[in-house]
Structure formats: structure tokens, C-alpha cells
């Protein structure tokens, strides 16, 4: 028996990176998936899951559109009979833009995908899960939502909002049997962070990526997927309203310039 055997799960942002790694891992653990992304690459993810023997349906949709979110949640319930877990993972970075050059439209788009997207997933998954008396909601936040220096301003603000949304929603779900938690990735090698890695390699400093955390390396999507798997599974039955950094230890300390003791 897999850790998600027979469970119906939605994963957004499933076309690449963390979402693709999660889709493959969750399927391996027995989940029946609805894989969602606004990019057609989600079909490739579904193909990989199917080739590995998993049950999956690819849905091309915008995680920040209420109409789309309602539709893919309804699809999961219709296809699989229930909704056991949803991972609101879709997100965009917005790049590094100085404050004087940032526009309202830039902020609105980042907040729409990164913060309103998880809100919509919560809003429309809740009724099904409450009716069942159980369910797990996972949201992708970021270490950038915990401390400064990890991203641009709108991205950091959006992820801080996700953490607050998770904490406040946990209490809104009191007594329902539905849990909600957030994963806070550190520097992970994905399509979103590819420019960081490419610039470092061009400068000849690729070996310094991740040097600020105690593990001295960047993370991989499967390492974030593993935390999401735990939170979505019954193993985390008493874990609720928390935001978990998965960052090689980056947020374990204040800035420190001395030598290790």
C-alpha cells in the first residue's frame, strides 16, 4: 500500500519543477491525480505519470482564475468521487525589479497567481472536504515569505501572505477534520530559478550556489515533493497550520560571517 493509496489529489503547477516531481511521487504512492498547469507541459507530466503506471488526468488551467479552479476541483470530484488532497503549488517569481520600477500591474499578477490562487483552491476545495470529514490542503510558500533577501518584493509579499493564509485558515477549519499546511522551499533548481543558475555558471560561480545554507547546495524538486507528500498523507494527521522551511538549513540562523565552531 502506498502512502496515498486510492486518494484523489489535485496538484497545480504540475507542468514542471516541484509540481512535476510531486505528481510523479504522489502517483508512485498510489494517488489518483488531476495535474494542473496553464502550460501544455502538464500533458508531458501526465504522460510520465501514465508511463509509470499511474492514474492521472492533465488539465490546462489558470490557478489564479476562479472559474478554472472551480472547474478542475469539480472534475476531480466527478472523476474520482471525492477530493482527499490538493496542493496549491502554482507560482511565478516576477524577477528582481527595483521598487521605483515596479508597477501595480506587476504586483497584481504575482499576487493573483501566488496568493489568490491558493485562496481559490482553499475556498473551493473546503466544501467537498468538510462534507467528507477529512482532507489535506498543502500550499507552496517560500523562505522568501519568512525572511528578506530571497526574492523580489512582490514575490516575498505574496509568499508571506500564503503563510498567513494557511495559519488563519487552519482555525477557520476548526473541528472539520480538514488540515492545511505550507511548504517553504529554499533555493530549488527549477524552471523558475533557472536564470539564477545560468548566471552563476556564466560567471564561473556555479559551485557557490547554495553556499549560504549549512548543506552548501541548492535543493532539488523531489526534496520539496517529499515534504508535500508527508503533509498530504495520513502520516501528518496531527500537523496543521504550519509552514515548513525546506531550505538546507538556511533559515536556521541569523546572518553569520564567522567560521563554523
Asked if the structure places residue 51 within a domain, the reply is yes
In terms of pLDDT, which residue wins out, 151 or 221?
A: 221
Cross-strand partners of 184 = 245
* Mean pLDDT score, 3-10: 97
Asked if the structure places residue 104 within a domain, the reply is yes
- In tens, the pLDDT along 152-198 reads 999 999 999 999 999 999 999 999 999 999 999 998 877 666 666 65
* Residues marked as catalytic: 155
Measured distance CA(113)–CA(85) in Å, rounded: 20
For all residues of the chain together, what is the average pLDDT? 92
In the predicted model, is pLDDT for residue 203 greater than 80? no
Do 129 and 178 form a contact (C-beta atoms < 8 A)?
A: yes
- C-alpha 90: how far from chain center: 6
pLDDT tier at 261 (50, 70, 90 boundaries)?
low
In terms of pLDDT, which residue wins out, 260 or 1?
A: 1
> Residue 166 sits in a domain of what CATH number?
3.40.50.720
Asked if the structure places residue 255 within a domain, the reply is no
In terms of pLDDT, which residue wins out, 93 or 44?
A: 44
Domain assignment of residue 131, given as a range: 8-190+220-247
Asked if the structure places residue 2 within a domain, the reply is no
- Structural domain total, the chain: 1
* Mean pLDDT score, 223-245: 98
- For cell 508527508, name the residue: 230
pLDDT tier at 212 (50, 70, 90 boundaries)?
confident
Asked if the structure places residue 135 within a domain, the reply is yes
In the predicted model, is pLDDT for residue 229 greater than 90? yes
pLDDT tier at 257 (50, 70, 90 boundaries)?
low
What pTM, to 2 d.p., does this model score? 0.93
* Mean pLDDT score, 199-209: 64
Asked if the structure places residue 195 within a domain, the reply is no
In terms of pLDDT, which residue wins out, 47 or 97?
A: 47
- Check residue 200 and give its pLDDT: 59
In the predicted model, is pLDDT for residue 62 greater than 70? yes
Asked if the structure places residue 111 within a domain, the reply is yes
In the predicted model, is pLDDT for residue 240 greater than 60? yes
In the predicted model, is pLDDT for residue 150 greater than 80? no
Asked if the structure places residue 202 within a domain, the reply is no
Amino acid at each position: 500500500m502506498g502512502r496515498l493509496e486510492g486518494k484523489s489529489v489535485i496538484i497545480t503547477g504540475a507542468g514542471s519543477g516541484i509540481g512535476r516531481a510531486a505528481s510523479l511521487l504522489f502517483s508512485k504512492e498510489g494517488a489518483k491525480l488531476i495535474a494542473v498547469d496553464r502550460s501544455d507541459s502538464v500533458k508531458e507530466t501526465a504522460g510520465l505519470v501514465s508511463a509509470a503506471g499511474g492514474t492521472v488526468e492533465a488539465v490546462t488551467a489558470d490557478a489564479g482564475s476562479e472559474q478554472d479552479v472551480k472547474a478542475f476541483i469539480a472534475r476531480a470530484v466527478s472523476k474520482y468521487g471525492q477530493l482527499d488532497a490538493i496542493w496549491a503549488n502554482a507560482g511565478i517569481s516576477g524577477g528582481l525589479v527595483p521598487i521605483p520600477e515596479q508597477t501595480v500591474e506587476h504586483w497584481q499578477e504575482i499576487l493573483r497567481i501566488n496568493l489568490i490562487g491558493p485562496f481559490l483552491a482553499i475556498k473551493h476545495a473546503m466544501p467537498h472536504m468538510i462534507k467528507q470529514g477529512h482532507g489535506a490542503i498543502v500550499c507552496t510558500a517560500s523562505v522568501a515569505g519568512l525572511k528578506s533577501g530571497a526574492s523580489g518584493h512582490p514575490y516575498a509579499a505574496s509568499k508571506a501572505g500564503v503563510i498567513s493564509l494557511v495559519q488563519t485558515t487552519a482555525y477557520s477549519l476548526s473541528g472539520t477534520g480538514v488540515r492545511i499546511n505550507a511548504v517553504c522551499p529554499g533555493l530549488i533548481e527549477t524552471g523558475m530559478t533557472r536564470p539564477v543558475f545560468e548566471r552563476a555558471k556564466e560567471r564561473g560561480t556555479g559551485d557557490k550556489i547554495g553556499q549560504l545554507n549549512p548543506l552548501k547546495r541548492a535543493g532539488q524538486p523531489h526534496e520539496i515533493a517529499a515534504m508535500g507528500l508527508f503533509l498530504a498523507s495520513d502520516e501528518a494527521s496531527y500537523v496543521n497550520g504550519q509552514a515548513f522551511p525546506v531550505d538546507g538549513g538556511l533559515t536556521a540562523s541569523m546572518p553569520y560571517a564567522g567560521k563554523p565552531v
